[in-house]
Chains A and B, each alone.
Chain A
């Protein structure tokens, strides 16, 4: 490969916090790599782990960003639902031979543009080290 590997990241952003945090990063003109393609969801609790697996099939990593626990979730406790599911999914991923670090769950509030940009940078670097996800690692 002549070019440097550029990971593909699919990001599920809850509309109240993660998505708004990404907007904040934009408003503050913070730069991060264009490796991420966001999909806006109502709540991280809406995300079925099947969606994460589907996204992993065609990307190198999945980011889920929602409201801070315990009390920030716009829908009371959707973030906890997501947390439980992701914790379980990571166990399965390990069993399947996929590095669980490829799925990243972050709590990013609407004010945390800086954190959003930092997470994308970090995650991109991490995935670069892990290399492309092609089937079982």
Chain B
């Protein structure tokens, strides 16, 4: 072995200083060597003033290949390494670990891609060889300017925030809490449970929804690791993964849940009646009420918009000592701002159904017996307004002919072009349950296509068609209205290619599933994306389906896209598991190749703030400052800064310029 004789430096400008670069050219068997003259590349690149060592080998990524690099680093005192081989997406990590093992900073190693982007795509040997040399030269310019960097490390708050108390939020909160971490579960309604609590039975097994949900709700209520905040909304989110600072507004309940003993005396004296949200407007409730008997927290609540007692001179009957014995009612209850520091956030804000008023041809807002599927769900529910036997809202008669309208606005360019995913199966469920209750009923289902995707769903729909004898009519409904107590449906049967007119007692619309109100506002507070229809946009549909583009924020449930309970629960557990991946760490590492600001050059113009997609830049004392943990290193601010004050570590303007020059310049 020759001595690592220091090679005096070197080119006229001395621009490589004390740099001693090693270049390792891989044959990749014949993958590279067949097209690129590897020996010639080594010969050419050896002439480069910064290069003190260049060699080739059959498989640089193999153990002997890696040892070759390590040996050269030690013996030749290399300050940087260029591996000319395959794509960095394959082996950058491998070779950075190799140089680190030999005592160099991993960022002093870069790869030149002479396989995917050279030998595999070109045929002329001399031109491919020249291109390989150009690529290596360009990468040398980068590596000589690469700073030695260490991953940025930061501590974290081992606590999670879950927004939304439906089945998605409940499952995610329980999973994290069961793993031993603190969870704050925020729900804007007076109780958790979400839409699932309103359902009668769930497809395809026909489990009673409340029977499988309410045990989970009480588990949340009793869990030592869960802090439940109902009637609460997240109003502000600052910070970054591991260190989010959240402000939550807790609206007054006006009833102390610890004192309320559910005696129900208050509702007897309350003079105000309003439509019940839980029963989708099909029944009435008082201004003081409990959404449903199994509500969590188990307490009554006052609706301040309806209650007359907000002005105690007018009313205060429920607060009389002989009505509310425990003295739970407090008209002076005030909103409260709660501040919390959390490490991760799971957004599980769920869905709403599309406003039926927007589909005027279906008449749901004009005629009493044209109802939504969620209303029908309440009519089927044993704790619903009709005790589980569906009756017409107009005359309380049991309908004998009923029609379900699939895709009432879904897969419709005028309303929601997407498929709402669950309607085909729940319409079959509704038909099946209704036929059990009213065996002599005639049931029609108008569909465009049957999309029963899910385990055992197809069998379930078959059951509705064959066993229950529901008449499935393939066709789009054009108009529905009610006349003389009969609901008339006009449609086209697209299988028989003819117009049809059906007269029924009641029509049920399967309306599109849309994201819950306020999601866009919440998303912008958290700097996460929503898609064209307002659903949360995941980081990658295949590889990161439960993560937002902002690290530390995850999704679960129908807030991301319409989904059934099975998928929602699976996604909630997936989100919890991703959240735990962070919470179980003692510190968070972050790539150090991020933006940094030269305070002397910064003019404080704030242009960088406007382009940063992560909100990683703040103005401190009139100058921009980058938060290294939030910054993802995209460089948008660097190319925006008019003063040249921002640079991207290991991707500076100087590096990029030198790489460009090297692509064509001679050695």
**B231 within 8 A of partner (CB):** no
A76 touches B131 (CB 8 A): no
| Cβ 8 A contact of A26, one of B120, B531, B651, B663 | B120
A74 cross-chain contacts in B, Cβ below 8 A: 549, 634
| Contact residues on B (Cβ < 8 Å of other chain), bracket | 35 or more
B116 touches A22 (CB 8 A): yes
| Cβ 8 A contact of B638, one of A48, A71, A85 | A48
Are A27 and B116 CB-contacts (below 8 A) given A8-B664, A34-B131, A58-B665? yes
B549 touches A58 (CB 8 A): no
Are A29 and B636 CB-contacts (below 8 A) given A39-B663, A46-B651? no
A30 touches B121 (CB 8 A): yes
Q: Which of B8-16, B149-157, B654-662 contacts A (4 or more CB under 8 A)?
A: B654-662
A78 touches B122 (CB 8 A): no
A30 cross-chain contacts in B, Cβ below 8 A: 121
Report the minimum CB–CB distance from A16 to chain B (whole Å): 10
**B127 within 8 A of partner (CB):** yes
B663 touches A10 (CB 8 A): yes
| Cβ 8 A contact of B636, one of A37, A38, A43, A51 | A43
Report the minimum CB–CB distance from B15 to chain A (whole Å): 17
A26 touches B638 (CB 8 A): no
Interface hub of A20, A37, A48 (most chain B Cβ within 10 A): A37
Q: Indicate with 1 or 0, residue by residue over A45-87, a CB within 8 angstroms of chain B CB atoms.
A: 1111111001100110000000000010011111001000100
B636 cross-chain contacts in A, Cβ below 8 A: 43, 45-46, 75, 77-78, 81
Report the minimum CB–CB distance from A74 to chain B (whole Å): 8
A38 touches B634 (CB 8 A): no
A26 touches B611 (CB 8 A): no
Report the minimum CB–CB distance from A134 to chain B (whole Å): 14
| Cβ 8 A contact of A23, one of B87, B135, B611, B656 | B87
Report the minimum CB–CB distance from A49 to chain B (whole Å): 8
Report the minimum CB–CB distance from A121 to chain B (whole Å): 11
A43 touches B635 (CB 8 A): yes
B88 touches A34 (CB 8 A): no
B124 cross-chain contacts in A, Cβ below 8 A: 34
A39 cross-chain contacts in B, Cβ below 8 A: 138, 656, 659-660, 663
B131 cross-chain contacts in A, Cβ below 8 A: 34, 37
B660 touches A42 (CB 8 A): no
Report the minimum CB–CB distance from B664 to chain A (whole Å): 5
B611 touches A51 (CB 8 A): no
User: How far does the alpha carbon of A40 sit from the alpha carbon of B632 in the complex, in Å?
Assistant: 17
A50 cross-chain contacts in B, Cβ below 8 A: 653
User: How far does the alpha carbon of A92 sit from the alpha carbon of B63 in the complex, in Å?
Assistant: 52
B633 touches A42 (CB 8 A): yes
Are A81 and B648 CB-contacts (below 8 A) given A42-B634, A71-B537? no
* B541 and chain A: residue at smallest CB distance: A71
B660 cross-chain contacts in A, Cβ below 8 A: 10, 39, 51, 54-55, 58
**B529 within 8 A of partner (CB):** yes
B116 cross-chain contacts in A, Cβ below 8 A: 22-23, 25-27
B632 cross-chain contacts in A, Cβ below 8 A: 75
**A108 within 8 A of partner (CB):** no
A37 cross-chain contacts in B, Cβ below 8 A: 131, 134-135, 138, 663-664
B635 touches A31 (CB 8 A): no
B122 cross-chain contacts in A, Cβ below 8 A: 31-34
Are A77 and B656 CB-contacts (below 8 A) given A26-B116, A48-B638? no
**B560 within 8 A of partner (CB):** no
Interface hub of A8, A46, A85 (most chain B Cβ within 10 A): A46
B115 touches A45 (CB 8 A): no
Report the minimum CB–CB distance from B240 to chain A (whole Å): 15
User: How far does the alpha carbon of A23 sit from the alpha carbon of B634 in the complex, in Å?
Assistant: 20
* A70 and chain B: residue at smallest CB distance: B532
Are A31 and B123 CB-contacts (below 8 A) given A40-B88, A43-B635, A59-B664? yes
A81 touches B138 (CB 8 A): no
| Cβ 8 A contact of B121, one of A32, A54, A71, A76 | A32
**B26 within 8 A of partner (CB):** no
* B656 and chain A: residue at smallest CB distance: A51
Q: Which 7 A-B pairs have the closest CB atoms?
A: A46-B635, A26-B116, A75-B634, A76-B613, A45-B636, A26-B120, A48-B639
Instruction: Show 18 A/B contacts (Cβ-Cβ < 8 Å), sorted by A.
Output: A26-B117, A29-B120, A30-B121, A34-B118, A34-B122, A34-B127, A34-B130, A34-B131, A41-B656, A42-B648, A45-B639, A46-B636, A47-B639, A58-B664, A58-B665, A76-B613, A81-B636, A85-B639
Q: A37-B664, A74-B634, A76-B549 are in contact. List 4 more A-B contacts (CB 8 A).
A: A8-B664, A34-B127, A59-B664, A76-B529
